[in-house]
Homo-oligomer: A and B are copies of this chain.
């Protein structure tokens, strides 16, 4: 029986992109339900009835309305026949994927999102000015995190965050790391392992990776061009 999976998302949201790439790549059938964050569609009463947290991404099917991208990824890996490498059944490898997924909340996600929001989103949404000292502080926090990923997760010779095959940890990680590009920051600069890994994940998931990042890439090019002026 079809589960009638509905996926609520906005590709400006990092976890929305990770989940969108996963759904497309694994060919899980779903209905696209766009929620325009720029128009505050996530704050309507209609959307609150779907997701009490009023955030994207989220899903709704015949048995559950579920929020939190990492919880959704785990649910989809249980409910659909997806290749094992995405969320390995081997206990040790699964533990490593889980370790990254939990660690990233207060590291990759918060560091990259805070920098992006302060440098790009808030000035555009609220007209707020960028204080250079605070900008530096947020940049350094982000760089400590990116350097840790470069050294600890990608510096031991493995092509992906957990071993030799791509997993949901790579998708969740890379979509966060793409975000500061829109604010003109290149996460690859000076990080050869990260550079090769990003290219590898892109190749593994294309054409969906580029489709998901179409708008991000356009804004990133604009920001880089502006920085060169």
Q: Does A101 have its Cβ within 8 Å of any Cβ on chain B?
A: yes
List, in ascending order, chain B residues with CB within 8 A of A105's CB.
102, 105-106
Q: Is the CB of B79 within 8 A of A91?
A: yes
Q: By the criterion of a CB under 8 Å from any partner CB, how many residues of chain A are at the interface?
A: 28
List, in ascending order, chain B residues with CB within 8 A of A70's CB.
98, 102
Bound complex: CA A79 to CA B69 (Å): 25
Hey, what's the 0/1 contact readout for A93-116 against B, CB within 8 Å counting as 1? 011101101110110001000000
Q: Is the CB of A91 within 8 A of B106?
A: no
CB proximity of A71 to chain B, nearest CB, Å? 4
Contact A103-B64, Cβ < 8 Å, known A91-B79, A95-B74: no
Hey, what's the 0/1 contact readout for A44-69 against B, CB within 8 Å counting as 1? 00000000110000000001101111
Could you write out 27 A-B pairs with CB less than 8 Å apart? A53-B103, A63-B91, A64-B92, A64-B96, A66-B95, A66-B96, A66-B99, A67-B103, A68-B102, A68-B103, A69-B102, A70-B98, A70-B102, A71-B95, A71-B99, A71-B101, A74-B94, A74-B95, A74-B98, A75-B91, A75-B95, A75-B98, A78-B91, A78-B94, A102-B105, A105-B105, A105-B106
Known: A64-B95, A66-B99, A68-B98. 11 other contacts (CB 8 A): A63-B91, A64-B96, A66-B95, A68-B102, A68-B103, A71-B101, A74-B94, A79-B91, A105-B105, A106-B106, A106-B110
